[in-house]
A and B are shown apart, each in its own frame.
Chain A
Amino acid sequence: MAEFEPKIIVFACNWCTYAAADLAGTSRVQYPPNAYIVRMMCSGMINPSYVLRAFEDGADGVIVSGCHYTDCHYIDGPVKCDAMFAKLKRLVHILGLEDERLKREMISTSEGTVFARVVREFVSELKRLGPSPFSSLRNSRKEKAVA
């Protein structure tokens, strides 16, 4: 059987983390292709329901990432994101998911290598953790779609 490859959704702010991922690519830093980036304008824009949607859809892990506190294009997005994230953590816990499946990061424009490292480490952590309990749900939905 093929090795389990976790699916990761990264909600990334346009100005920092998305640009960091661009920089990782431009610099040809290699990391596993398990992470999909959803480009948001600001980490303060990330609605908890998006993250829950990703888990519901069977994502094995989610990263919420934006700029550092002082770099925000919108002045204080990271602070708002922190507040949202604190609530989100509780919700994810209630859903019965392991805390490790949800990560909060701050990766700035110049930190391409940091982005790659975060993904790399998260992939191996999720491999240890195994598939999300909701991933079977995903498979069933997917099959339905094919049928």
Chain B
Amino acid sequence: MEEVKIGVYVCWCGLNIAGTVDSEEVARYAGTLPHVAVARDYKYMCSDPGQDLIKNDIKRLGINRVVVASCSPRLHEPTFRKACRDAGLNPYLYEHANIREHCSWPHATDKNRATEKAKDLVRAAVRRVYYQEPLEIKEVPVNPNVLVVGGGIAGIQAALDIADGEKKVYMVERDASIGGHMIQLDRTFPTLDCSECILTPKMTDTGHHPNIELMTNSEVEEVSGYIGNFNVRIRKKPRYVDVDKCNSCGECAKVCPVEVPDEFEMGLSMRKAAYLPLPQAVPAAFAIDKRGTAPCRIACPAGVNAQGYIALISQGKFKEALELVRRAMPFAGVLGRVCTHPCELECERGKFDEPVSIRALKRFIADYELKTEREKVVPIETTKDSKVAVIGSGPAGLACAYDLIREGYAVTVFESLPRAGGLLRYGIPEYRLPKEVLDNDISYIQELGVEIKTKSPVEDLAEVFNQGYAAIFIASGAQGSQKMGIPGEETSGVIHALDFLRMVNAGVDIKLGNKVVVVGGGNAAIDAARASLRLGAREVTVVYRRSRDEMPAISSEVEEAEHEGIKIHFLATPTKILSRDGQLSAIECITMKLGEPDASGRRRPVAVKGTEFTMNVDNVIIAIGQTVDKTALPKELNYTSWGTLEVDPVTLQTHIAGVFAGGDVVSGPADVVVAVAAGKEAAISIDRYLRGVSLTEERQVTPKRVENVSKERAQLKARASTPLLKLDERKGSFAEVELSFDEKTAIEEAKRCLNCGVCSECLECVKVCEQGAINHEMQDEFVEVEVGSMILATGYQQFDPSVIPQYGYKKFDNVLTGLEFERITCAGGPTQGRIQLKDGREPESVAIVHCVGSRDQNYHEYCSRVCCMYGLKYAELIKEFTKAEVYEFYIDMRCFGEAFEEFYKRVSEMGVNFIRGKVANITDRVMGEEERGKLIVTAEDTLLGKMIRVPVDMVILCAALEARSDAADVASLFTIGQRGDGFFLETHPKLAPVNTPTDGVFIAGCCEAPRDVPDTVAQASAAASKALSLISRGKVTTEAAVSYVDESICHGCGRCEEICTFHAPSIIRTDGRLVSSINEALCKGCGACAVVCPTGAAQIKHFNMQEIEGLVDGLLEVHRG
């Protein structure tokens, strides 16, 4: 090995180092160290003469190792390595001692010790450099494509610069249009040119540029690779509008029933769920704002789109609303009355005040149809060869038939009774569900082409198949009555509720006595009790064995029953039915108490001994449950231990292929809507069965429930209650008790809906879009692109001043933020550019408050740079367009840019009042007459040395620019740093302002720090030039300090392979033994493999054990061999 000759160069860095550290002394000391051939100090080592010192020594003195003691290696290590290389020395035979950032600066108060420490650092560097070895530097090609993240002015500028340089740009923008914050601005200071006028052409260029591939509604998901060779995975979220087809005609927005605050207008006006993101949107296409499925729709077993039909009702589109209900199921009129409405339990509005009256609204649209007479339905054409038989015409059977006929199947429904409807017709009394309503729903199904054969019981399934039906759905209900099993149950005068209701509904004349007792607590019990009352019974008592809380009947029905005079005897159960002369006379009951919870989770009632009592009665109606009547069903079927039909819980198929069953016959007695859901489920199975595809695969798709529904704009309003028939009109009549909303009430109630999912999927837009551009089925798409460099231009967000309560933002109408005021002055904005108060008046006085959230360590310590100037701009505009007095409350006026000071002067000439003092408070607590109706701004006028109160009409808060709330996620995605204030960290604030620690990733615009448009554009061009320079170089050097394996001592244990995150090492077989081999292209030089290597075979070049241990020895002045 050639003799080691080390050159040591100690920098003064002017006084930055030499002011604390005695650089001459350090150099003198370095000269005494072993192997040091020359040691020099110099004022600025990084200057050309400084570097020449090194180069000359290498050339003339044969220096073959170099140590520079100066600033941080993160700043100048590359400089000196390059100097070495220029002089013909391998740049890895170089070591850097940081005696500025780590020594002279943080130890400025202790010069002696700082100098000693500098010597220690130099000694250690000398020790380390002694062990260093030359490394080979490899080059890889640079992919010429560039990714630009963010479509604000920074991203647009950078993209255009690169694209104009004939290079490919992928631009990823999160929103539906590019433009960023700048397109929201009205005019830009100090020239007051309108930002629309100057930005729109650039936006259009970006959208049409052949070299720019614009991806809106998109976000970067994953980044891998390294400078020159990045691989980026992008998620393109659905816009639900085909950008190429959309011609921006706006018909979709016209028919869209959903309104939400317009973000572009800062919430000052509303937009539709189908909307043009901004007037000059690029791409020039509408978008649909869909945030997930509304909870009401998810809660509905039948999947009825409640948000959708409510939205349509709110627009007076009753017919369309009903159509939407019928997309899911045919029973709008029925379920609008008898549904247990699980949707209302989930309604988000319920978390604010009360849930929307969803069920009553559905009923309203069904009634509206009855009232206005429905047009005859066009039958659906049969397109499928297979015929389907449905047994039972209750809700499950008809729902199934309805879905199948719409799929193009021929469907026949077999009903054993004389009329269709099942329990709906024979179980529910007319005062709850008028026959006319049921008939309408059923005839709708029939008109579609479903054939219903009444008085046609089915006894044999084989026969049905023989008739040519390819599949059968059994939905025959649970029509048997559960017996009580007590003495006297067979006495005449005792009747089971289902039989009783069937007779009532069939119009059989029933004679009841004066006193009727109904046993049970379900809907049948309450129905029977209320029907009895209507049939003339004087005294009706319901006996129920548990308490009110456990009662399964619909609570509003129970309340109405009590209203009508029905008594409910809780916690009692019959033990005996007594008769006199074979005629029912009384019923004996026993008192119950609630014990431990049973399997259903309800507390089990237990009889209390010795508490028997009797009640005199004329009739007893037993309504304690329904069972499946096996005798009425075909023989071939299997049953569960509960006595219900056995089916597969997902597909509803019985053990016989092609035979499905659902509704009460499977579930036991349940809600109508649950039966409808079962019918729909069976229809899916039958369709799959007949098409010969798997019954189960990809069957259950769980919709994404919308998260965080905003209630910010909701105002307290009680839900509309349904009108009821007067009590005295109910007796002796089966007239309907609950009545319909009127149109006005229905619309008002529908407007209470919070539109949880934003787009309600009412699909009205699809109907009107002549271009066929709308597709509600669009899904996330993933795109992978390869790029050589990336420019982040993700911008800023406006500070939310509501965290400063004393400024009254969001509390007072006329306290605005800067961006809100921008929209107000903009001619295309919500007020057409008229500067006005919330009530439409022109303000007589306006206060502009500077430094809101800026220059304040309670919020952001930094100055937001643009507020002074835009504050002046507002003053200018207010003075120009109104007669208002303007007060600028400032701490310091910062007007440092080109033509800024001149603008300040011009605004001053307009007679604006400048008050130097930080605003303490904005309040409506007035003192004296002149303050009445005004907002009072208080501050100390620090120039007068007086407290002042300024009454104004409008306050504009110059809110800070702050880092985006998800900046940390973006930083970690692209492996860059953030400053304490959240903005992205540049490599060097002065010399590398658009670079980041990750080579090939550049930053531009407000994501790096607050700045104005000119600076942003300059920075964006700078970032573009960095990317172009990289492309033009065409190649980059790869990391030389990667790991290597000394095969002679490697055991091939594989620990390196296991620990490496980047899959660089792999175990291979050479010369008959296992050893580790490193793929240098994948290695990042993190060194984890060397730590776990048990033999020391794996080492990192330039960071090997000898070098590091030498350095440590040197620092601690330990000499070893």
**For the complex, what is the distance from the CA of A57 to the CA of B143, rounded to whole Å?**
48
Judge whether B1105 and A30 touch: CB under 8 Å: no
- Residue A102 lies at the interface, judged by CB distance under 8 Å to chain B: no
Residues of chain B within 8 A of A73, CB atoms compared: 975, 997-998, 1086
Which residues of B are in contact with A by a Cβ distance under 8 Å?
Answer: 72-74, 98, 100-110, 113-114, 116-117, 120-121, 124, 968, 972, 975, 977-980, 985, 997-998, 1041, 1059, 1061-1062, 1084-1088, 1090-1091, 1100, 1103, 1105, 1108-1109, 1111-1113, 1115-1120
**For the complex, what is the distance from the CA of A42 to the CA of B1059, rounded to whole Å?**
14
Residues in A101-147 with C-beta less than 8 Å from chain B: 108-111, 116, 138, 141-142, 144-145
Judge whether B1118 and A141 touch: CB under 8 Å: yes
Judge whether A33 and B1116 touch: CB under 8 Å: no
Judge whether A18 and B74 touch: CB under 8 Å: yes
**For the complex, what is the distance from the CA of A5 to the CA of B1116, rounded to whole Å?**
13
Which of A33, A59, A80, A142 is within 8 Å of B114, CB to CB? Answer: A33
**B121 nearest CB neighbor, chain A only:** A36
Residues of chain B within 8 A of A37, CB atoms compared: 98, 102
Judge whether A57 and B1116 touch: CB under 8 Å: yes
**A21 nearest CB neighbor, chain B only:** B102
Judge whether B73 and A25 touch: CB under 8 Å: no
A sample of 20 cross-chain residue pairs with beta-carbon separation below 8 angstroms, ordered by A number, consists of: A15-B977, A21-B102, A25-B102, A25-B106, A28-B108, A32-B107, A33-B117, A41-B1087, A53-B1109, A53-B1112, A57-B1118, A58-B1116, A58-B1118, A71-B977, A73-B975, A74-B1086, A77-B1086, A109-B978, A138-B1116, A141-B1119
> Contacts A47-B1105, A47-B1108: A7 and B1087 contacting too (C-beta < 8 A)?
no
Can you list, as one digit per residue, whether each of A56-84 has a CB less than 8 Å from chain B (1) or not (0)? 01110000000000110111110010001
Judge whether A33 and B1084 touch: CB under 8 Å: no
**For the complex, what is the distance from the CA of A121 to the CA of B791, rounded to whole Å?**
40
Residues of chain A within 8 A of B74, CB atoms compared: 14, 18-19, 22
Residues of chain A within 8 A of B105, CB atoms compared: 25-26, 28
Judge whether B101 and A26 touch: CB under 8 Å: yes
Closest chain-A Cβ to B827's Cβ sits at a distance in Å of: 43
Residues of chain B within 8 A of A54, CB atoms compared: 1112, 1116
Which of A7, A22, A39, A45 is within 8 Å of B1091, CB to CB? Answer: A45
Judge whether B106 and A41 touch: CB under 8 Å: no
Judge whether B1087 and A142 touch: CB under 8 Å: no
- Residue A95 lies at the interface, judged by CB distance under 8 Å to chain B: no
**A56 nearest CB neighbor, chain B only:** B1118
Judge whether B106 and A110 touch: CB under 8 Å: no
> Contacts A44-B1091, A80-B1091: A36 and B106 contacting too (C-beta < 8 A)?
no
Residues of chain A within 8 A of B975, CB atoms compared: 73
> Contacts A45-B1086, A71-B972, A116-B106: A59 and B1116 contacting too (C-beta < 8 A)?
yes
- The list of the 4 closest CB pairs from A to B, nearest first, reads A45-B1087, A25-B101, A145-B1119, A74-B1086
Task: Given contact pairs A25-B100, A47-B1090, A110-B979, enumerate 8 new A-B contacts (beta carbons under 8 Å).
Answer: A7-B1116, A9-B1116, A21-B106, A45-B1086, A49-B1105, A53-B1113, A73-B998, A142-B1117
Residues of chain A within 8 A of B101, CB atoms compared: 21-22, 24-26
Can you list, as one digit per residue, whether each of A80-99 has a CB less than 8 Å from chain B (1) or not (0)? 10001000000000000000
**B1110 nearest CB neighbor, chain A only:** A53
> Contacts A42-B1086, A84-B1091: A36 and B124 contacting too (C-beta < 8 A)?
yes
Judge whether B997 and A15 touch: CB under 8 Å: yes
Closest chain-B Cβ to A133's Cβ sits at a distance in Å of: 15
Residues of chain A within 8 A of B1091, CB atoms compared: 44-48, 80, 84
Residues of chain B within 8 A of A141, CB atoms compared: 1118-1120
Residues of chain A within 8 A of B107, CB atoms compared: 30-33
- Residue A50 lies at the interface, judged by CB distance under 8 Å to chain B: yes
**For the complex, what is the distance from the CA of A65 to the CA of B100, rounded to whole Å?**
21
Judge whether A109 and B102 touch: CB under 8 Å: no
**For the complex, what is the distance from the CA of A132 to the CA of B1041, rounded to whole Å?**
34
> Contacts A42-B1086, A45-B1090, A58-B1118: A36 and B1103 contacting too (C-beta < 8 A)?
no
**For the complex, what is the distance from the CA of A57 to the CA of B719, rounded to whole Å?**
79
Residues of chain A within 8 A of B113, CB atoms compared: 5, 33
**A12 nearest CB neighbor, chain B only:** B102
Which of A36, A40, A44, A75 is within 8 Å of B1115, CB to CB? Answer: A36
**For the complex, what is the distance from the CA of A115 to the CA of B102, rounded to whole Å?**
11
Residues of chain A within 8 A of B1113, CB atoms compared: 53, 57
Closest chain-B Cβ to A84's Cβ sits at a distance in Å of: 6
**For the complex, what is the distance from the CA of A50 to the CA of B1116, rounded to whole Å?**
13
> Contacts A33-B113, A47-B1090, A59-B1116: A22 and B124 contacting too (C-beta < 8 A)?
no
**For the complex, what is the distance from the CA of A82 to the CA of B1118, rounded to whole Å?**
28
Residues of chain B within 8 A of A44, CB atoms compared: 1086-1088, 1091
> Contacts A53-B1109, A142-B1117: A109 and B977 contacting too (C-beta < 8 A)?
yes
Residues of chain A within 8 A of B1115, CB atoms compared: 7, 9, 36, 38
Residues of chain B within 8 A of A144, CB atoms compared: 1119
Judge whether A28 and B1118 touch: CB under 8 Å: no
**For the complex, what is the distance from the CA of A71 to the CA of B1109, rounded to whole Å?**
27
**For the complex, what is the distance from the CA of A19 to the CA of B74, rounded to whole Å?**
8
Closest chain-B Cβ to A83's Cβ sits at a distance in Å of: 9
Closest chain-A Cβ to B32's Cβ sits at a distance in Å of: 11
Which of B124, B1061, B1100 is within 8 Å of A76, CB to CB? Answer: B1061
**B982 nearest CB neighbor, chain A only:** A110
Residues of chain B within 8 A of A31, CB atoms compared: 106-107
**For the complex, what is the distance from the CA of A45 to the CA of B1104, rounded to whole Å?**
10
Which of A26, A39, A50, A109 is within 8 Å of B1112, CB to CB? Answer: A50
**For the complex, what is the distance from the CA of A35 to the CA of B1080, rounded to whole Å?**
34
**For the complex, what is the distance from the CA of A14 to the CA of B1061, rounded to whole Å?**
18
> Contacts A45-B1100, A142-B1119: A22 and B1087 contacting too (C-beta < 8 A)?
no
Judge whether A42 and B997 touch: CB under 8 Å: no
Judge whether A42 and B1087 touch: CB under 8 Å: yes
**For the complex, what is the distance from the CA of A1 to the CA of B73, rounded to whole Å?**
37
> Contacts A7-B1116, A45-B1091: A50 and B1086 contacting too (C-beta < 8 A)?
no
Judge whether A74 and B1084 touch: CB under 8 Å: yes
Judge whether B1108 and A38 touch: CB under 8 Å: yes
Among A24, A57, A59, residue most surrounded by chain B Cβ atoms (within 10 Å): A57
Judge whether A30 and B1118 touch: CB under 8 Å: no
**For the complex, what is the distance from the CA of A59 to the CA of B215, rounded to whole Å?**
56
> Contacts A22-B72, A28-B108, A33-B117: A45 and B1088 contacting too (C-beta < 8 A)?
yes
Residues of chain A within 8 A of B108, CB atoms compared: 28, 30
**For the complex, what is the distance from the CA of A39 to the CA of B73, rounded to whole Å?**
10
**For the complex, what is the distance from the CA of A42 to the CA of B1086, rounded to whole Å?**
6
Judge whether B102 and A145 touch: CB under 8 Å: no
Closest chain-B Cβ to A35's Cβ sits at a distance in Å of: 9
Closest chain-A Cβ to B380's Cβ sits at a distance in Å of: 57
Residues of chain A within 8 A of B1087, CB atoms compared: 40-42, 44-45
Residues of chain A within 8 A of B1103, CB atoms compared: 40-41, 45
Residues of chain A within 8 A of B1105, CB atoms compared: 47, 49-50
Closest chain-A Cβ to B115's Cβ sits at a distance in Å of: 10
Residues of chain A within 8 A of B117, CB atoms compared: 33, 36
**For the complex, what is the distance from the CA of A15 to the CA of B996, rounded to whole Å?**
11
**For the complex, what is the distance from the CA of A111 to the CA of B1119, rounded to whole Å?**
35
Residues of chain A within 8 A of B109, CB atoms compared: 30
Closest chain-B Cβ to A11's Cβ sits at a distance in Å of: 9
**For the complex, what is the distance from the CA of A44 to the CA of B1085, rounded to whole Å?**
11
**For the complex, what is the distance from the CA of A80 to the CA of B121, rounded to whole Å?**
28
Residues of chain B within 8 A of A109, CB atoms compared: 977-978, 985
Which of B121, B980, B1120 is within 8 Å of A110, CB to CB? Answer: B980
Among A14, A30, A44, A144, residue most surrounded by chain B Cβ atoms (within 10 Å): A44
**For the complex, what is the distance from the CA of A80 to the CA of B1062, rounded to whole Å?**
14
**A74 nearest CB neighbor, chain B only:** B1086
**For the complex, what is the distance from the CA of A92 to the CA of B98, rounded to whole Å?**
29
**For the complex, what is the distance from the CA of A53 to the CA of B842, rounded to whole Å?**
77
Residues of chain A within 8 A of B1041, CB atoms compared: 41
Residues of chain A within 8 A of B997, CB atoms compared: 15, 19, 73
**B1113 nearest CB neighbor, chain A only:** A57
